[in-house]
Structure 1
């Protein structure tokens, strides 16, 4: 058995010397293993690759490269999927916010308008229906939580009802006392 020793200044003070032992004869030393004196936890944060270099002389050199661990293929795939979903969900959420903003702006304009007619709320109802559809689709595919979707739809409905009450087109019935 042939033993090759390498020393680095960059190793911790306890580990100034790294001993490697050849598992075969020195003439064809293709595979190398760590000696028993080397503790494993020094390299737990990465992987160590070893390769032998033969020069013209009889002397063999060992090149050691320590590199951080590579992500597993499944983890890399998960990261790619998560990024795709993030971009897709961001677009959906942006569309929901835009639709809600349009509805709320239209309702605000109608509320401030004096002498508004009840027929003027019909185009806004169409916008509300489109916003509801987009919200429901986002909840269905999992972009929004169902409670979040319900809260946003309720906000639009309450705003519409507030405008109708403001103009006198709708009169809420008092709650029956028991």
Structure 2
């Protein structure tokens, strides 16, 4: 770790540069332009902070502090990971909504069609299967809660059943009371 051999310096108002050397290697000396507060990376191991203190007199004092670089902050890493997951989950949820929307639109078209045939439900069943697959994958990786996935699959099945009942292709069995 490099240390700075610098103490309180009194700078006249006309002096605008400051030269510092490290105890690690004299070749690592650096000049700075002086202003109110300077923070500059000087050493490979850390950062040098220069700040001015104004006393009651006209003179300005300079405080030099050298601190080692902090290790990668775990909170920053968590934020990066959370952003990656957010983008990934957003894409997966969008795909689920798109697949559901396609199925529901096709079912609406089929329900409004007066002379629909039972064979016309087969392509929609294929779309429903693809939607179920996407929903199951989203639940598997944790993007959707399992109850949410089950509710969405149930909604698609109920809509399909409603279309089949509407056209008379399916007659529900009467409820048997026990």
Q: Structure 1 length normalisation: TM-score? A: 0.63
> How many residue pairs align between the two structures?
125
C-alpha distance after superposition, 1:49-74 (max 9, x if no partner)? 86599xxxxx9933379xxxx89611
C-alpha distance after superposition, 1:93-118 (max 9, x if no partner)? 00110100000000000000011000
| Pair 1:126-2:119 in alignment | no
Q: For CA contacts below 8 A with separation 6 or more, give which structure has more relative contact order.
A: 2
User: What's 1:116 paired with?
Assistant: 116
The residue correspondences of 1:145-160 to structure 2 (distance < 5 A) are 145-160=145-160
C-alpha distance after superposition, 1:19-47 (max 9, x if no partner)? xxxxxxxxxxxxxxxxxxxxxxxxxxxxx
The residue correspondences of 1:137-176 to structure 2 (distance < 5 A) are 137-176=137-176
1:139–1:146 CA contact under 8 A, matched in 2: yes
| Pair 1:88-2:88 in alignment | yes
Gaps of 5+ in 1: 5-48, 54-58
Name the CA shift for 1:149/1:71 in 2 (closer, same or farther; >3 Å).
farther
Gaps of 5+ in 2: 1-7, 9-47, 53-58
Mapped partners of 1:111, 1:71: distance in 2: 62
Mapped partners of 2:51, 2:168: distance in 1: 89
User: What's 1:177 paired with?
Assistant: 177
Flag as ranges the 4+ runs of structure 1 deviating above 6 A: none
